[in-house]
Structures are given as structure tokens and as C-alpha cells.
A and B are shown apart, each in its own frame.
Chain A
Amino acid sequence: MGFIAIFCFTEAHRVWIGWEGTGTMPLIVGGIFTLLALSLLVFPAPKAVPVVWYSKGEMFRIGMITLYFALYLSLMGWLGYMVNTWLLLAAVSKQLSTRKISGILIWTGAVAVGTYFIFRKYLHVPLPVGFIGELMRQYLGLRF
């Protein structure tokens, strides 16, 4: 907390142009963090209950989902929303169940295509089309 306070004070000093300027709020927030840090020094937690962190199994499962989501984000521009989302949903669903992949691929595919059309076509959210969309546009004249 002391470090955050120092960051806030430094930033407040950098942008300071007076009390009605940009630096006021960083100064206040820095002050709050300083007070909190001091109060922790003066009143340390009396009976701190030891924190039980996540087990190895839990960490592994959470880590896998994070990996899928991180891959999803980094491949979004290349694979496009539809294919990428299909793969993410299928991977997450497969990890959480023992069902056959064929069934999973069908429902996840339907969700990916359905949400793409709802959000891109009707709500005008510019979801990435990826290389498949580009190829379809170039060679088949289809615009998704």
C-alpha cells in the first residue's frame, strides 16, 4: 500500500497544476493509501486466520481455463470470432465433462454461429472475421 501511495504522489506531482487540476484526485488517493498503510502498522490484524490457498488440482483446472482463454484472445484476430469461439467453448466444455466430443462440437458450433450473427449483424459489434472470413469474401464474395 505504501508503494501505491508513492506512485499516486509521484503522479500527482507530475500533473499538478493546482487544486482544481488533474493532480488532486491522485493526491487524495495517495493520502488514503498512506492512512491505510499506517493504520495497518498501528493496528495489525490481531488473530490472523491462515489463508487456505487453492489446491494443486484446483490450480491446474483454473490454469487450463486461463490458458484456453489467453489463447482465445491471442488467436482472435487470425482465426476470427466464429472459429475461435467454437474452439474455446468446445475445449472448456470438454475439460469439464466426459461427454463425446461430437455432441459438444455441435452445440458449441451452433452457439458460436448464433452469437456471431446476433452481435455482428443485428447489434453491429465489429467481431473479427479472421482469415476464413477474408478468404470467403475474396473467393466466394460472401460477407459475414
Chain B
Amino acid sequence: MDTFALLLMGFSNALTLQNLLMALIGSILGTLVGVLPGIGPTAGLAILLPVTTLLDPIPAIVMLAAVYYGAMYGGSTTSILMNIPGEIASIVTTIDGYQMAKQGRAGPALAISAISSFVAGTLGLVGLCLFAPILSEMALKLGPPERFGIMVLAFSMVISMSGKSILKGLVSAAIGMAIVLVGIDPYLGLGRFTYGTITLVGGFDFIAIIMGLFAMTEVFRSIGAQVSAIYDAPLRSLMIKWRELKQCITCMLRASVVGFFLGCLPGCGPGVVSFISYDFEKRISKNRGNFGNGAIEGVCAPEGANNATTAGGFVPLLTLGIPPSTSLAVLLGGLMIYGLQPGPLLFEKQPVFVWTIIASMYIGNVILLILNLPLVGMWARLVKVPYHIIAPLILLFCFIGTYSVRNSLFDVGTCLAFGFIGLVMSKLEIPFIPLSLAIILSPMLEEVLRQTISMGGGSIGVLLERPVALALIGAGFLAVGLTLYLRLRWARAEELFGLEQAE
């Protein structure tokens, strides 16, 4: 049978009442998991895994997959409305999404987030159907040196995410890299920067830092400035305009391609990919200056990319049995509970199972769009809720979000401390994004760097024998050089323009 016939067969199975119901329940629960800070997709899947054992394999995996991509949908809501990233992949959405909410454009931001997620998620699934076997073979050929190249390329984004001052952006990234060094080295079990204290052995929790920097800082700042609501004027629009949607069509397509293909690579989870997609869009956009100040493409790109990544992540999972992210590792556990061994033979031995899951994901995307779009108006009105109600709730979300990850009050204290650090950083105009980016990328960089050195017998010289890795590293340096050149040219043009005006 060809792919299309197999997909049709999948649809005929997925459209049974039980599977539809499971996709609906999974989508709703996933959206809730995404909205609730701290309960990310991994935790959500882990909580629901025992429940699904009561079901048959197909409905159970349909539900778990729906929870996974539902969480990607839901994560943007609190990012846009309250500056609280529901999960790692939504950190980038806060940059322009929250700015849009503060300008009274929460409705269009939420709508483009839902539409972009739907389009990119669906296109990602088309990619999964068409390219799964070819891509899985290619992904398998990428070893640690190539992955190191990808990480260097990803780190080059720090420059373009640095805001006004590159040096401040670099300082922020370096601080992020230093923070993740604290704790046990996951490979050899040796403690770093723990100074004999048990509390520091576990290191600083990523969620606590992010919540502190983004949400706590924003609450402190708003309370200090005595704001009465996130947006205190009549809402400009609750729904996205056709003009804005048209502006985002190519952006959605690009985010789908970037998200899907990077999502196929091990280690490239939605968190990393959303940063890359945002940066890519910022580099090529005509409205580059608007990024960071409420550009609608700044919401569209990361939200689309993280949903395309969820589809891309299923390529190595289903064809090779390699989960590219922790969430999919839990899902892999779910597959194994039912005796299903993902790998090259899964498509041949279990076609009904595989194609039903893929078809259910198409249906799940439609369900999520139907669920989310009508709710945009309701969510958008939240920015009008008085701050004396919103502020305590954000503080509560910060507490639960950070506490629930490791059940540790130390993490909540970390969140509070980073709220203060964020206040100081914002006054000194040091951007938060490079720090967040470094916290996500640095452990991955360390892993692949050490693997590369081990491959080379204690030397990094092995990189010279890998042309793909060298090309990726070269692309990283090229990206840095190009950004620096464009910035210098821009600064010079501004200076000349200023002089002309003065004359």
C-alpha cells in the first residue's frame, strides 16, 4: 500500500468514537498542562501514563500524543498574557507576545499562536508521512561532532538576541552558562560549585530561574510602578485581522520547515527550535526593528516551530526508537508498556498502529484549533483583570510552578532571588533571553563536546575530519560575523541620519 492509502486507513481507524474521544480528552488535558506553569509536557505525560494503561494501545497512545502536542498549544497562553512561560518552548513567545498583550493586542497574539500552531503542526505531520524513513537514516548519521556543530550554530543566536548591546548579551549568556555548572556532573557524578552543601548538589532548577526572571520580575516591576492592569485601556481588537494573518503566512511556512527538520534531530527539542525559528525570522524580516516590541511574527514563528517540532520528533521516535526529547522519552515508555518496539520495522509490522496515531494527530490539531480559537476573546480579556487580583495569582503560579518540579522550597527561593536579579538586570539593560538560551543550550553543548573529545581520544581534532560539523561551525561564525556587520552598518546609518538632521 502506498502512503496515501495507509493514511486513509489510519483515518478510518482514528475516526472511531473511542479514538476521537481520547484525542479530545488528551487535547484538553494537554492544553491545561501547557497553561499551568511548571507542569510541562514531560510531567503531564508521566502523570497520565499510569491512567492510560487501562486502555487499549491505540487509544492510549492517541491520548498521550494529544497531551504532548496540546501542551505545546497551551504553553503560549500564559506566556502572552502574564509573561509566564508555561513550558520551555514558550519562553521566546514571551518576548513579543507579552508586549502585544501590553499594547492591548492579546487577542491577535493568541489567535496567531493557535493558527500558526495548527498550520505548522499539520505541515509537520505531512512531513512525517512523506519523509520519515529518509530523515531517520540521515539523522542517524549525525554523530556528536555534527551535533556539536549544531550547538555552536545555535549559540550564535546569542548575538542577535542581545538587544542594544552585544557585550551585555554576551555577559548575560555567560552568566547562564555559569549557573548551569552548579550541581552534579551528570556523566561522572562529580559535584561542581557545590561547596559541600547538599542543597546545591541538584543545581538550580531551570523552571525556577525562568519563572523568576520573567514572571517575578514583571510582578515586582508592575507593583513598583502601581499599574492597575496589564492593559488599562479599551481593548483594540479581540481577533486577528486579515492583514496580520496575511503578513504571517510565509512566516508560518518557514517555521514549519525549520521546526520539522530540526525536530528530527536528537537533542533539538521544542525549546531550542523555537529560539532558532525566532532568530531566523528576525534576521530575514523586513520588520526587524519591531521584534521585541510586539511583532506578530515574533509570536507566529516560535509557536509554529514548536508544534512542527512535535511532529518532527516522531520521526526518530517511530522509525529508530530514539526519543529526541524527554517528553517523547516518556511517550516511548508508553509504547513499550504495550510491547510495541519502535524502530525501522514498526512501520512494516504495525502499520495500523502507526498510521492511526499519525491520522489521530491530524484530527487532534483540528480539535485544538476548534477548542482554542473561540476561547481567544475570553483569554484576551484577562489582561483587563485588575492587578490586585492578577499579581497574587502570578505569585501563586510561580510558587506552584517551581515547587511542583522537584517539590523543593529551595527552588521557590531561587525563583524569588532571580526575580531580584531580573530587576537589577532590567535596570542595567542586560537582556534575559541570552541567559535563558545559554541555560537551555549549555548542558547540551557540554554533552556533545565531551562526547566529541572522547571520540577523538582526548582531542577535539576529530572535528577536522567531519565536513558537516565544520560547515555547521563555519555557519555559526558566519552568522555572528554577518550580524555584527549589519549592526555596525545600521549604527553608522543612524549616526549619519542624525548628523543630517542636525544640519
A125 interface residue (CB < 8 Å to B)? yes
Contact of A22 among B192, B223, B412 (CB under 8 A): B192
7 tightest A-B contacts by CB?
A: A58-B224, A96-B388, A97-B388, A89-B392, A22-B185, A92-B392, A20-B453
Contact of A73 among B224, B393, B409, B442 (CB under 8 A): B409
Of B80-88, B171-179, B271-279, B330-338, which stretch is located at the interface? B171-179
Interface pair B39/A123, CB less than 8 Å apart: yes
B225 interface residue (CB < 8 Å to A)? yes
Interface pair A39/B453, CB less than 8 Å apart: no
Contacts of B400 in A (CB 8 A): 115, 119, 125
Contact A62/B223 with A69-B416, A92-B391 known, Cβ cut-off 8 Å:
yes
Residue of B nearest to A84 (CB): B399
Q: In the complex, how many residues of chain A place their beta carbon closer than 8 angstroms to a beta carbon of chain B? A: 57
B181 interface residue (CB < 8 Å to A)? yes
Q: How far is the CB of A75 from chain B (nearest CB, A)?
A: 11
Contact of B454 among A20, A43, A51 (CB under 8 A): A20
Q: In the complex, how many residues of chain B place their beta carbon closer than 8 angstroms to a beta carbon of chain A? A: 52
B353 interface residue (CB < 8 Å to A)? no
Interface pair A20/B450, CB less than 8 Å apart: yes
Interface pair B174/A29, CB less than 8 Å apart: yes
Query: Which residues of chain A in 45-70 are interfacial with respect to chain B, using CB atoms and an 8 Å cutoff?
Result: 51-54, 57-59, 61-62, 65-66, 69-70
Interface pair A19/B459, CB less than 8 Å apart: yes
B226 interface residue (CB < 8 Å to A)? yes
A20 to B446, CA, bound (A): 10
Main secondary structure of the interface of A (DSSP, over half): helix
Interface pair A24/B409, CB less than 8 Å apart: no
B interface residues with partner A (beta carbon < 8 Å): 39, 47, 167, 170-171, 174, 177-178, 181, 185, 187-188, 190, 192-193, 219-220, 223-226, 386-389, 391-393, 395-396, 399-400, 403-404, 407, 409, 412-413, 416, 420, 423, 427-428, 442, 446, 449-450, 453-454, 458-460
Contacts of A22 in B (CB 8 A): 185, 187-188, 190, 192
Contacts of B458 in A (CB 8 A): 18-20
Contact of A62 among B224, B389, B395 (CB under 8 A): B224
Residue of B nearest to A15 (CB): B190
Query: Which residues of chain A in 72-125 are interfacial with respect to chain B, using CB atoms and an 8 Å cutoff?
Result: 72-73, 76-77, 85, 88-89, 92-93, 96-97, 99, 107-108, 111, 115, 119, 123-125
A96 to B494, CA, bound (A): 43
Contact of B174 among A11, A32, A54, A66 (CB under 8 A): A32
Interface pair A93/B392, CB less than 8 Å apart: yes
Interface pair A125/B223, CB less than 8 Å apart: no
